[in-house]
Structure 1
Amino acid sequence: MQAKEVKEKLKFLISEASLIDPNLAKRLDEIRRWIKDTKDGSLNTKKLVMAFLLEAIEDSEVWLQLKVQTPEVCQLDLARMTAPVRYWYSYLFPKWLNEADSKLYIWKQKMMAGEFNQEDVELLAKIVNEIKSRQGTVLQRYVADLSMATDLIVSSSQEKPLCVQLTSLSEEFTEIKYQDWKNTLREWGIERGLFLSFHPGEPEFIKQLVNITLYNSNNLKIGSYLKFSVPS
């Protein structure tokens, strides 16, 4: 989908959402106004912005489909989803629509200006692949990452979703980021979280990260926000 199509799609979804979920319409209109003055050619070159827009469109379409169903059919549709996807659509996404997002304005500006580096993209892809190879399920969302301090929403065998943040910061800065992360999760009502700091040069560190993640997906208690370093 190109920029012109994205802009038209947003207008269509805003019109549709205004009759079904005004909060979604309001959020989408905020996104539409953010990009409306950016020329289509320029917008097409902003890969991260376009990826976010396509993700927002996809989430909005799924959400509207769920909203027009009867409660019984909606529950059946949610039950067919993986645990991370179900958690996203049944809790985090509607929470994002219904509540103020203090970080949204800042990261939208940075995203449009190209100020985000994506050094961790390949690392996260490897972690996701490793989780899936062990029959775990996982979801990534820009909103979860940038507003909710969550790189990955993960579920293992017991299908309890766990919000995970990864960082390679040096030890002196890790504690500050950990406290900010914990506060952010609490603000969004996320009841369990895992904060993983790591040293990329450590042998098989990806397997170690996934071991810790899958174990805590099954075992971390409600109200726990665990900080863990690899190597420990």
Structure 2
Amino acid sequence: MQAREISPKLRELIHLASSLEPALATRLEEIWRWIKDIKSGSLTQKKFLMGFLLELIKDTEFWLELKVLTDDERQLFFNQIAPTVRYWYEYLFPKWFKERDLKFYIWKQKLRSGEFEREDGTLIESIASEIKSREGTFVQRYVADFSMATDIIVSSNTGKPLCVQVTSMADEFSHQKYEDWKHTLQGWKIERGIFVSYNPAKYEFVIQLVNLVWHNSNHLAEAKYLKFSF
């Protein structure tokens, strides 16, 4: 999709959502008003903003397709898809557009101004690749990152979805960031998560980290938010 098509597409989705899911229409309207005056050329140059908008459009289209299914049809579909994908569409995505997002005004400004950078992008890609090689599943979303302090949602092939946050901040300085992370997850009623601080010079720990994620996907109890350091 080209940048010039974004605004009209959002208007189309707002119209569709207004009868099917008014809360989603309201959130889309807010985002449309936020970006409608950005020229296409400028929008194209803002790769993370474009990435977010394209992801949002895709998620909205998918959600609206789910919305028109009967309850039985929707349940059958959810039973057939990856647990992380189900968790996103059945729980986190609707939670985001139905509830107040306390961080929304902050990350909107950063995205629009071009301040946002995915500092841990290469690491997250390595984690996702290793998870996939083990036949696990993962989901990455800008909204999860921006609003829910979650870099990646992962699941082993037999486990449950687990929200993971990684930071290159040294362990001895990361306590407050961990507390903020835990508070954010609890605010969104996310029941399980792990927080990992790592040394960027030691990428060999990826296998260890994935082993950790794999284990906790299977075994971590609800209302648990664990902190690790590599």
Q: TM-score w.r.t. structure 1 length? A: 0.97
- Whether the 8 Å contact between 2:128 and 2:138 is mirrored in structure 1 is yes
- Whether the 8 Å contact between 1:157 and 1:218 is mirrored in structure 2 is no
1:5-59 deviations in Å (ceiling 9; x for gaps): 1111101000000010000100111110110111111111111000000000011
| 1:199 Cα offset (Å) | 1.0
Q: Identity across aligned pairs (percent)? A: 58
Letter in 2 for 1:44: T
Letter in 2 for 1:45: Q
| 1:94 Cα offset (Å) | 0.7
| 1:203 Cα offset (Å) | 5.8
1:104-158 deviations in Å (ceiling 9; x for gaps): 1110100111111222111111110011111111000000011000001010032
Alpha-carbon distance in 2 for matches of 1:91, 1:109: 26
Counterpart check, 1:18 vs 2:18: yes
| Superposition CA RMSD, Å | 1.0
In structure 2, stretches of 5+ residues that fail to align are none
In structure 1, stretches of 5+ residues that fail to align are none
Describe the SS at the equivalent of 1:204.
Answer: helix
Number of residue pairs matched by the alignment: 230
Residue 133 (structure 1) aligns with: 133
| 1:209 Cα offset (Å) | 1.0
- Structure 2 counterparts to residues 48-127 of structure 1, below 5 A: 48-127=48-127
- Whether the 8 Å contact between 2:178 and 2:195 is mirrored in structure 1 is yes
Q: TM-score w.r.t. structure 2 length? A: 0.97
Counterpart check, 1:4 vs 2:27: no
- Whether the 8 Å contact between 2:49 and 2:112 is mirrored in structure 1 is yes
1:168-205 deviations in Å (ceiling 9; x for gaps): 10233210000000000000000001001111223621
Alpha-carbon distance in 1 for matches of 2:32, 2:203: 45
